[in-house]
């Protein structure tokens, strides 16, 4: 009964999403106030229905209802409760449902957050969001319904993929989706501004907190995914330039460009059409990413053929959504003009370069990701594109970006007056160089040119970002949340750049074969296998090794890497043994039983890798901090005033 | 690397992985000298296992990948250069095997795109900045200072800030 209820709720949600889109988009256009007013109840109803559907599926999982195909395929009577709930997003159908409920949550948040904005504008935003939700609900119901029954029901389920049975994974997809889907809000704001024909840049201020929040979630989600793959997949990789990773990285790069471009539009009324375009492109890349991943086109050509309906359905929706948005843009963008001026060294110039370089980086990643598809479509020899392509081509725009950042944050709007900060810039640059040399010459063996460049740039970003905030705090002046958030995010970037510059060249990795009591030298450390024993988990059995790590004869830690065999799917999983020592990870993953008590294992010594996660976490925190800036609350309050557009803004719109 | 899974739809991939989940290879091959060892590792990471989904030779557990690793090891021990080994692998298994697209006419767009985009981007930026710099003297609008946390300075805030 419950699955049918969930199915029915999903159908109602789709109808409500359709009404939400209709009322939201047509209501303001036809000046029908009752339609405009009806968008809010439509949002509420849609959310309740989606939540009901999700609840029904969760209850089916919790109650082991294996008559539901999705439950049977992704859980098992031995699966712990926690993972039975997380199994909701363990495969295709459920993760679409997750996508939809997260969009519904964002929509509710937007409804609350825009309640003080002009009614027609917020109705249009909700209308566009309703359209997106309608598309995904339709897609789910037609091609990927999670509520289908099995007849007769199997006695037990197939089990959740063991790789997904990890606490890290439980939180990774929801967070990442929150970021991914959050870009839809910026998309909707941009569409609403264009539908309304707004030529003033006030919508940019309204959009900013939403775009920043989505970006922060995306940052957090990508980092969590990288960390999760590092420690749970057991091979110590954190980024592989894989199509699926790229699919999340491209929206992030464009989202980063967007939050900077929004700042210029908000503060100076410039780059209006560019900011609109970035809002559209950011979410379009989310959709394209969904298409790339869902259809399976990039993983192999064959899986596309295996399920062409799903791929085609997403492709059609993608074309409709992006096509409509771009048509709207082509119609409205030419009406946008601004008369503001700025000098070469003004903040606007630096942010212009920021945008151009980030978009080039995204375009490069895009080119590398789709090149194999293009080769396939043209019937050419198959092509592979991996790290050896992405690394150099990505650094090409990113290195100048990092260098310009340190200078750019000292530039003022309109007239740069960078010269005023010349001393601070020179002193921080000198300190950064000294730091880089000390690290390369002192702490790690072997000199790498790129490591030095990265260390200098990273340290310079941190020091240079900190100068003004520290100066203001010393003079007992307040710091707005926006500036504090920006500083945190930039410092986080610097930390990540430093970590990457050290992790990449100075990681020591060796695959070793050890018998009981034998040891091997990896970097400055000795890894000694004490022994192995068999243990049982709740739904797996495992071999657990005991590996003692020592340095110069002094024992540092004991690691317990595991190789698991999950009973139901007869599938293997690894659990690496990791110990962090002063930011350096000592890592062992268990390989194969070579016979005669010998085991192969992968040992790694990764310096500073902790900071590779810490950096992006700081960036995300910075984003969340900036969202709470008073400015945005005041922007909403200002919209309540009888004259919705401030005097300053009017002048700019000439 | 199996890090493919960490993408936006790790969960999505669960579906793809239902079919097969090749275990990760731990390749304990040792080369006689550290220099050869380094070259061996570089080469096995630069080429993919032809029958796997996006895994390098070094990471793949497939027997086929193991055979190609053995070939690489033997060629290294026979004193062949990296270039010779690359050419051999590409001619033997087609360009699909290398993660680094060849510098060829058909891949020219791929390799040139970042450089061309960068040049075009700089040109565009210079043109925009030139045009805007000419307007700077006519632009009399006050600009709020980011570091001043007082929102009363903001144009939109002016009308509505409660005292």
Residue A200 has pLDDT above 80, yes or no: yes
Whether residue B123 is contained in a domain is answered as yes
Task: Show Cβ contacts of residue A289 under 8 Å, excluding neighbours closer than 6 positions.
Answer: A180, A247, A248, A250, A251, B8, B9
pLDDT for B24 equals: 59
Please count the structural domains in chain B.
2
pLDDT for B157 equals: 36
The pLDDT tens digits of the residues spanning B114-144 come to 999 999 999 999 999 999 999 888 877 777 6
Mean pLDDT of B20-44: 75
Nearest CA to A84 out of A103, A102, A105, A66 is that of A66
Task: Show Cβ contacts of residue A258 under 8 Å, excluding neighbours closer than 6 positions.
Answer: A186, A211, A215, A275, A278, A279, A282
Residue A645 has pLDDT above 80, yes or no: no
Q: Cβ–Cβ of A245/B7 closer than 8 Å? A: yes
B28 and B91 belong to one structural domain: yes
Residue B151 has pLDDT above 60, yes or no: no
pLDDT for B26 equals: 72
The pLDDT tens digits of the residues spanning A278-311 come to 999 999 999 888 777 766 665 533 333 346 677 7
Whether residue B93 is contained in a domain is answered as yes
Mean pLDDT of A395-409: 95
- Which chain A residue shows the shortest CA-CA distance from B143? A413
Q: Does residue A512 belong to the interface with chain B, where contact is any CB pair within 8 Å?
A: yes
Q: Which residue has the higher pLDDT, A179 or A382?
A: A179
pLDDT for B141 equals: 76
Residues, chain B: 163
pLDDT for A234 equals: 55
Q: How far apart are CA A385 and CA A406, in angstroms?
A: 32
Reported as a pLDDT band with limits 50, 70 and 90, residue B11 is: very low
Residues 79-118, chain B, touching A (beta carbon < 8 A): 94-101, 106-107, 109-111, 113-115, 117-118
Reported as a pLDDT band with limits 50, 70 and 90, residue B7 is: very low
The per-residue b/e assignment along A541-571, b for 16 or more CB within 10 angstroms, e otherwise, is: ebbbbbbebeeeeeeeeebbbbbbebbbbeb
Residue in B10, B59, B123 to test binding to A, most A beta-carbons within 10 Å:
B10
Mean pLDDT of A16-43: 95
Q: Cβ–Cβ of B17/A381 closer than 8 Å? A: no
Residue A482 has pLDDT above 50, yes or no: yes
Q: Cβ–Cβ of B101/A389 closer than 8 Å? A: yes
The pLDDT tens digits of the residues spanning A495-506 come to 999 999 998 888
Mark residue B52 as left, alpha or beta (left: phi above 0; alpha: psi -120 to 50; beta: remaining): beta
Whether residue B41 is contained in a domain is answered as yes
Q: How far apart are CA A457 and CA A429, in angstroms?
A: 9
pTM listed for this prediction: 0.90
Residue in B12, B62, B157 to test binding to A, most A beta-carbons within 10 Å:
B12
B91 and B109 belong to one structural domain: no
Mark residue A513 as left, alpha or beta (left: phi above 0; alpha: psi -120 to 50; beta: remaining): beta
Least confident piece of the model among A131-140, A270-279, A442-451, A545-554: A442-451
How many CB atoms are closer than 10 A to CB B148? 15
Percent of chain A at pLDDT above 90? 56
B59 and B122 belong to one structural domain: no
B89 and B118 belong to one structural domain: no
Q: Burial level of A506, CB count in 10 A (0-12/13-18/19+)?
A: buried
B117 and B75 belong to one structural domain: no
The pLDDT tens digits of the residues spanning A349-380 come to 999 999 999 999 999 999 999 898 888 888 88
Residue A56 has pLDDT above 60, yes or no: yes
pLDDT for A395 equals: 95
Whether residue B51 is contained in a domain is answered as yes
Residue A214 has pLDDT above 60, yes or no: yes
Q: How many helices (H) and strands (E) does chain A have?
A: 20, 10
User: By residue range, what is the domain housing residue B119?
Assistant: 103-137
B28 and B90 belong to one structural domain: yes
Nearest CA to A437 out of A425, A422, A449, A423 is that of A449
> Positive or negative CA dihedral for B4, B9, B12, B18?
positive
pLDDT for A13 equals: 97
Domain ranges of chain A: 209-306+328-507+612-628, 508-606
B27 and B92 belong to one structural domain: yes
Residue in A170, A310, A369, A388 to test binding to B, most B beta-carbons within 10 Å:
A388
Nearest CA to A189 out of A275, A104, A269, A257 is that of A275
B70 and B121 belong to one structural domain: no
Average pLDDT of chain A to the nearest whole number:
88
Q: Does residue A598 belong to the interface with chain B, where contact is any CB pair within 8 Å?
A: no
Q: Which residue has the higher pLDDT, A640 or A193?
A: A193
The pLDDT tens digits of the residues spanning A424-462 come to 999 999 999 999 988 888 777 667 888 999 999 999 999
Residue B6 has pLDDT above 80, yes or no: no
CATH assignment of the domain containing B63: 1.10.8.640
B67 and B111 belong to one structural domain: no
- For residue A173, list chain B residues with Cβ-Cβ distance below 8 A: 9-11
pLDDT for A457 equals: 97
Residues 27-86, chain A, touching B (beta carbon < 8 A): 73-74
pLDDT for A136 equals: 93
B74 and B93 belong to one structural domain: yes
Domain boundary among B75, B97, B119: B97
B114 and B61 belong to one structural domain: no
């Amino acid at each position: 009964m419950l699955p049918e209820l969930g199915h029915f709720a999903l159908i109602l949600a789709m109808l409500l999403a359709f009404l939400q889109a209709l009322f939201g988009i047509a209501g303001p256009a036809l000046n029908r106030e009752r339609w405009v007013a009806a968008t809010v109840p439509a949002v509420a109803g849609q959310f309740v229905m989606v939540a009901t559907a999700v609840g029904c599926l969760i209850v089916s999982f919790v109650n082991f209802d294996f008559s539901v195909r999705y439950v049977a395929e992704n859980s098992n009577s031995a699966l712990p409760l926690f993972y039975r709930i997380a199994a909701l997003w363990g495969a295709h159908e459920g993760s679409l449902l997750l996508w939809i409920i997260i969009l519904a949550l964002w929509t509710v948040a937007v409804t609350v957050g825009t309640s003080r904005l002009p009614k027609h504008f917020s109705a249009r935003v909700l209308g566009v969001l309703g359209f997106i939700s309608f598309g995904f609900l339709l897609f789910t119901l037609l091609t990927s319904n999670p509520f289908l029954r099995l007849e007769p029901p199997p006695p037990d389920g197939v089990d959740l993929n063991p790789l997904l049975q990890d606490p890290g994974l439980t939180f990774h997809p929801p967070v990442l989706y929150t970021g991914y889907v959050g870009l839809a809000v910026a998309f909707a704001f941009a569409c609403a501004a264009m539908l309304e024909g707004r030529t003033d840049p006030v919508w940019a201020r309204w959009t900013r907190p939403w775009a920043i929040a989505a970006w922060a979630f995306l940052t957090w989600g990508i980092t969590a995914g990288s960390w999760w793959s590092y420690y749970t997949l057991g091979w110590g990789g954190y980024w592989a330039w894989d199509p699926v990773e790229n699919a999340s990285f491209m929206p992030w790069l464009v989202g980063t460009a967007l939050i900077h471009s929004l700042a210029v539009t908000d503060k100076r009324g410039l780059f209006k059409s560019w900011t609109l375009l970035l809002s559209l492109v950011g979410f379009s890349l989310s959709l394209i990413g969904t298409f790339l991943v869902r259809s399976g086109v990039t993983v192999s050509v064959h899986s596309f053929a295996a399920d062409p309906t799903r791929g085609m359905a997403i492709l059609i929706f993608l074309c409709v959504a992006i096509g409509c948005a771009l048509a709207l843009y082509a119609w409205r963008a030419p009406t946008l003009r601004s008369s503001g001026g700025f000098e070469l060294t003004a903040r606007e110039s630096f942010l212009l370069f920021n945008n151009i370089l980030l978009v080039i980086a995204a375009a490069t990643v895009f080119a590398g990701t789709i090149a194999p598809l293009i080769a396939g479509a043209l019937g050419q020899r198959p092509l592979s594109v991996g790290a050896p392509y992405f690394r150099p081509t990505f650094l090409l725009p990113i290195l100048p970006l990092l260098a310009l950042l340190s200078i750019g944050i000292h530039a003022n709007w309109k007239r740069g007056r960078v010269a005023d900060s010349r001393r601070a810039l020179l002193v921080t640059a000198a300190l950064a160089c000294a730091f880089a040399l000390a690290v390369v010459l002192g702490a790690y063996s072997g000199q790498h040119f790129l490591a030095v460049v990265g260390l200098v740039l990273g340290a310079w970003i941190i020091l240079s970002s900190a100068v003004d905030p520290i100066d203001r705090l010393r003079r007992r002046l307040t710091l707005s949340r926006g500036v504090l958030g920006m500083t945190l995010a930039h410092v986080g970037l610097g930390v990540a750049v430093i970590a990457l510059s050290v992790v990449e060249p100075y990681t020591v990795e060796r695959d070793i074969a050890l018998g009981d009591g034998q040891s091997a030298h990896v970097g400055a450390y000795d890894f000694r296998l004490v022994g192995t024993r068999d243990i049982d988990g709740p739904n797996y059995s495992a071999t657990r090794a005991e590996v003692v790590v020592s340095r110069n004869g002094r024992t540092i830690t004991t690691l317990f890497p595991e190789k698991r065999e999950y009973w139901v799917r007869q599938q293997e999983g690894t659990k690496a043994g990791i110990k962090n020592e002063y930011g350096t990870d000592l890592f062992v993953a268990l390989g194969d039983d070579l016979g005669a008590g010998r085991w192969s294992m992968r040992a790694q010594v990764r310096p500073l890798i902790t900071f590779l996660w810490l950096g992006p976490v700081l960036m995300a925190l910075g984003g969340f901090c900036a969202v709470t800036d008073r400015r945005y609350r005041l922007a909403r309050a200002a919209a309540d005033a009888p004259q919705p557009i401030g005097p300053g803004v009017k002048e700019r719109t000439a | 690397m199996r890090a493919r899974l960490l993408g936006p739809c790790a969960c999505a991939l669960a579906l793809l992985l239902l079919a097969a989940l090749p275990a990760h290879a731990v390749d304990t091959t040792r080369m006689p000298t550290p220099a050869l060892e380094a070259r061996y590792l570089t080469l096995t990471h630069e080429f993919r296992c032809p029958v796997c989904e996006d895994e390098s030779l070094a990471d793949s557990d497939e027997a086929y990948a193991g055979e190609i690793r053995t070939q690489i090891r033997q060629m290294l021990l026979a004193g062949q250069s990296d270039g010779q080994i690359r050419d051999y692998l590409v001619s033997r298994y087609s360009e699909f095997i290398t993660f680094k697209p060849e510098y060829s006419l058909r891949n020219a767009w791929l390799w040139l795109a970042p450089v061309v985009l960068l040049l075009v981007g700089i040109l565009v930026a210079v043109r925009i900045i030139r045009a805007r710099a000419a307007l700077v003297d006519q632009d009399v609008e006050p600009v709020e200072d980011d570091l001043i946390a007082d929102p009363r300075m903001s144009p939109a805030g002016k009308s509505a800030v409660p005292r």
